[in-house]
Amino acid sequence: MLFFFNYCNGQNKSQSREIIKEPHIVPKAQPKIIKPQGNNREDNIHCGLQDKAGKLWFGSAGEGVYCYDGKNFTNFTTKDGLSNNIVLSILEDRTGNIWFGTAEGICRYDTRSRTFMSIPIIVPNGRYLHPYTSTNNNLSAKNDVSSIMEDKSGKLWFGTTDGVYCYNPLQNDVGGQGIYFTRFLDHDGIINKSGLHLRQVQCILEDKNGNIWFGSGLGEGEGICRYDGKSITSFKPNGDVWVRSILEDKNGNLWFGGRHHGICRYDGKTFTDFTEKEHLSKIVYSVPSIFEDKAGNIWFASESNGVWCYDGKSIKNFTTDDGLINNSVWCITEDRDTKIWVGTRNNGLSRFDGRLQDPVGHGKAFTSFTE
């Protein structure tokens, strides 16, 4: 679908090399995350994942990345080579490298050399989008990277300030010449009758049928966008033009979390307003994350009313009354032991240690990992 070209110009080749920043100081490990002080006290744990080695990684909106080995947290920041301390997205690719989308471009962590590499976005026509400077004055110099997705072929997709970019590792890094990208919508074969821009895409997902779904971000108002391999189409089923999260569950249903109108579900034919159906007006404000655990429960992050869990029949709400560290929830992930980790405002991190069948109020369901 997308064709990558090679540079033959020596200057462009020199620009293409990754910017490698090796940690100069080994960060100090702590048993808990320390809450930020001063101007950063409202920062949140924005994204998380567990890597193939079993370590948990959490990206914060101002304090860099936290890596948890089961005993201690290690905090990596720009001092250790991270591109920016605002980390908006995390992905581990099939080779074990960990990619971070930051407020100043893309950064990759090589788990073998344990180094961070800031990666400029370079496209075949010569446009050079460095994380810190840009040769095109019409583009954001910082180039936020809000979302990352690896498709079935191994291609990586990045939702940035300037649009969606793709990188194919099978066609790059040849002979140490660096990484080259293509801008998705620059492909002439895409039918785009609505003139969609796909800027500020906050979430990307490839479904079981090979469709690529995009969630429109702040200021764009493009709603849910689907690329079926030929054309790209926009949907706004519940009137929400800002879509913050996408999930495909084990049954093939797609779930979308909006900024203003809550949750909708798509069964392949019809969109259903799940918020209205389940009378969930309390979480209508914003749903930054949707997650399915290994048992098939669907978890919803609410920016103001804690975390919600849907077992297919009923939905249960957990808040600070149940031990959650903060009711403003931004991300949800699961570890190998099927424990659910919840990232919140003020760099809060909680682990769900309760049981879903327990009645609400029966003890504290969460353990705090922030102090």
Contacts of 137 (CB under 8 A, 6+ apart): none
Would you place residue 1 in the very low, low, confident or very high pLDDT band (cuts 50, 70, 90)?
A: very low
Beta bridge partners of 56: 50, 68
Would you place residue 10 in the very low, low, confident or very high pLDDT band (cuts 50, 70, 90)?
A: very low
pLDDT digits (tens, 9 = 90+) for 27-60: 678 999 988 776 676 789 999 999 999 999 999 9
CATH architecture observed for domain 1-181: 4 Propeller (2.110)
Provide, rounded to the nearest whole percent, the portion of the chain with pLDDT above 90. 65
pLDDT digits (tens, 9 = 90+) for 140-174: 345 899 999 999 999 999 999 889 999 988 776 54
**Do 67 and 56 touch, CB atoms closer than 8 A?**
yes
What pLDDT does residue 18 have? 55
Buried b (16+ CB within 10 A) or exposed e, 175-204: eeebbbbbbbbeeeebebeeebbbbbbbbb
What pLDDT does residue 125 have? 56
Confidence check: pLDDT of 284 > 70: no
What pLDDT does residue 278 have? 79
- Please provide the average confidence, as pLDDT, over all residues in the chain: 85
What pLDDT does residue 362 have? 52
pLDDT digits (tens, 9 = 90+) for 170-181: 776 544 445 778
What pLDDT does residue 98 have? 97
Confidence check: pLDDT of 277 > 50: yes
Pairing mode of beta strands 203-206, 212-215: antiparallel
pLDDT digits (tens, 9 = 90+) for 291-348: 999 999 999 999 989 999 999 999 999 999 999 999 999 999 999 999 999 999 999 9
What pLDDT does residue 357 have? 60
For the chain, domain boundaries: 1-181
Provide the phi-psi class of 338: left if phi over 0, else alpha when psi is between -120 and 50, else beta.
left
Would you place residue 138 in the very low, low, confident or very high pLDDT band (cuts 50, 70, 90)?
A: very low
Ranking 13-17, 30-34, 65-69, 206-210 by mean pLDDT, the lowest is: 13-17
With residue 11 as reference, give the H or E element that holds it.
Answer: helix 10-16
What pLDDT does residue 143 have? 80
Phi (first) and psi of residue 230, to 5 degrees: -130, -50
What pLDDT does residue 11 have? 36
Beta bridge partners of 129: 121, 134
**Do 285 and 272 touch, CB atoms closer than 8 A?**
no
Note the helical H segments in 210-329.
Answer: 274-277
**Do 207 and 225 touch, CB atoms closer than 8 A?**
no
252: how many CB neighbours lie within 10 A of its CB?
12
**Separation between Cα atoms, residue 71 and residue 84, nearest integer Å:** 26
What pLDDT does residue 266 have? 97
Would you place residue 264 in the very low, low, confident or very high pLDDT band (cuts 50, 70, 90)?
A: very high
**Separation between Cα atoms, residue 299 and residue 74, nearest integer Å:** 27
What pLDDT does residue 133 have? 42
What pLDDT does residue 31 have? 93
Instruction: Specify the length of the chain in residues.
Output: 371
**pLDDT (average), residues 246-274:** 94
**pLDDT (average), residues 58-65:** 96
pLDDT digits (tens, 9 = 90+) for 79-112: 999 999 999 999 999 999 999 999 999 999 999 9
Higher model confidence: residue 307 or residue 12? 307
3-class SS of residue 225: strand
What pLDDT does residue 344 have? 97
